[in-house]
Each structure stands twice: as structure tokens, then as C-alpha cells.
């Protein structure tokens, strides 16, 4: 467990971003900040360009991330031309 006093304000730069499964969905983590440093989570979401923020009381942090959407697809059946 990370102590709040040792936690740095982490913004992940570059690609690929770390991936994390949260509540059964895959997310691309863009940043993690201590709860005490976040005054307005919605403003930070907009600044980072992400769609989701999680408050993790266990770690004392906010995780800002984008949900990775599943792609709906179906097999293409090859048709014979007779």
C-alpha cells in the first residue's frame, strides 16, 4: 500500500499507457493523483481529455482514465457464386 505522503502526482506520458481492469472493464490509465491534491475532478478530466475518474480511497488517489470500448463484430461467411 502506498502512503499518501510518498505518492507523487503521476501523469503517464507516451504510448502505450498502463492498462487496468476496473469493475470488469478495461481502462487506459492516463494519470493518478492524490485525493488531497484534487480540488475539481471534472476539471482535471477535461484537462486530461479522459472520460472516467475513479476515487480510490484505499490508495488515497484519483485515477483518471479512458474506457477501452469492445468492438462488435461478426464472421463474414464466404458465399459461393453459382
Rounded CA-CA distance 16/18 in Å is 7
Which position has the grid cell 488515497? 60
Please compute the mean of the pLDDT values over residues 47-54 and round it to a whole number.
94
Q: Considering the chain, what is the average pLDDT of its residues?
A: 83
Q: Is residue 41 part of a domain?
A: yes
Q: Are 15 and 29 in contact (CB under 8 A)?
A: no
Q: Is residue 23 part of a domain?
A: yes
Q: Which domain holds residue 24?
A: 10-56
Q: Is residue 74 part of a domain?
A: no
The domain tally of the chain equals 1
Residue 31 pLDDT: 92
- The residue among 38, 28, 30, 29 whose CA lies nearest residue 61 is 38
Say whether pLDDT at 7 is over 80: no
Q: Is the preceding omega at residue 66 within 30 degrees of 0, hence cis?
A: no
Please compute the mean of the pLDDT values over residues 2-12 and round it to a whole number.
53
Q: Is residue 18 part of a domain?
A: yes
Amino acid at each position: 500500500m502506498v502512503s499518501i505522503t510518498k505518492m507523487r502526482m503521476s501523469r503517464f506520458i507516451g504510448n502505450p499507457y498502463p492498462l487496468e481492469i476496473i469493475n470488469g472493464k478495461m481502462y487506459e490509465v492516463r494519470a493518478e493523483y492524490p485525493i488531497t491534491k484534487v480540488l475539481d475532478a471534472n476539471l482535471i478530466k477535461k484537462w486530461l481529455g479522459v472520460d472516467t475518474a475513479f476515487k480510490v480511497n484505499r490508495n488515497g488517489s484519483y485515477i483518471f482514465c479512458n474506457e477501452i470500448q469492445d468492438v462488435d463484430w461478426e464472421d463474414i461467411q464466404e458465399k459461393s457464386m453459382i
